[in-house]
Amino acid sequence: GNSVTQMEGPVTLSEEAFLTINCTYTATGYPSLFWYVQYPGEGLQLLLKATKADDKGSNKGFEATYRKETTSFHLEKGSVQVSDSAVYFCALSGWAGSYQLTFGKGTKLSVIP
Amino acid sequence: EAGVAQSPRYKIIEKRQSVAFWCNPISGHATLYWYQQILGQGPKLLIQFQNNGVVDDSQLPKDRFSAERLKGVDSTLKIQPAKLEDSAVYLCASSQGLAQYFGPGTRLTVL
Which is nearest to A88 in space by CA: A112, A64, A68? A64
Q: What whole-number percentage of chain B has pLDDT above 90?
A: 84
- What pLDDT is recorded for position B1? 66
Query: Averaged in consecutive runs of 10 residues, what is the pLDDT profile of chain A (113 residues)?
Result: 89 97 91 93 91 95 96 97 96 76 94 96
| Bond into B43 cis (ω within 30) | no
Q: Cβ contacts (< 8 Å) between A33 and chain B: which residues?
A: none
Chain A environment of B101 (Cβ under 8 Å) = 46
Interval A23-53: pLDDT, tens: 999 998 889 999 999 998 888 999 999 999 9
Beta-bridged to residue A100, according to DSSP, are: A94
d(CA B16, CA B19): 10
Measured between CA atoms, how close is B100 to chain A, in angstroms?
Answer: 8
B33 vs A100: CB contact, 8 Å cut-off?
yes
Nearest Cα of chain A lies from the Cα of B56 at a distance, in angstroms, of 7
Q: Look at residue A7 in the predicted model and tell me its pLDDT.
A: 87
Q: Cα angle at A15 between A12 and A16, to 5 degrees?
A: 120
CA B49 – CA B38 distance, rounded (Å): 22
Residue B84 has phi, psi (to 5 degrees) of: -55, -40
How would you class A7 by CB atoms within 10 Å of its CB: exposed for 0-12, middle for 13-18, buried for 19 or more? Answer: middle
CB atoms B42 and A103 under 8 Å: yes
Torsion angle of C-alpha atoms B38, A111, A7, A68, degrees rounded to 10? 110
Q: B53-92: per-residue pLDDT in tens?
A: 999 999 999 999 999 998 889 999 999 999 999 999 999 9
Round to whole Å and give the CA distance between A49 and A90.
Answer: 10
Q: How many residues does chain B have?
A: 111
Question: pLDDT at position A36, please?
Answer: 96
- Of B55, B56, B52, nearest to B69 by C-alpha is B52
Of B42, B91, B104, the CB nearest to A104: B42
pLDDT at residue A1 in the model: 81
For B46, nearest residue in chain A (alpha carbons): A100
- Render pLDDT for B5-51 as a digit per residue (tens, 0 to 9): 999 999 999 999 999 999 999 999 999 999 999 988 899 999 999 98
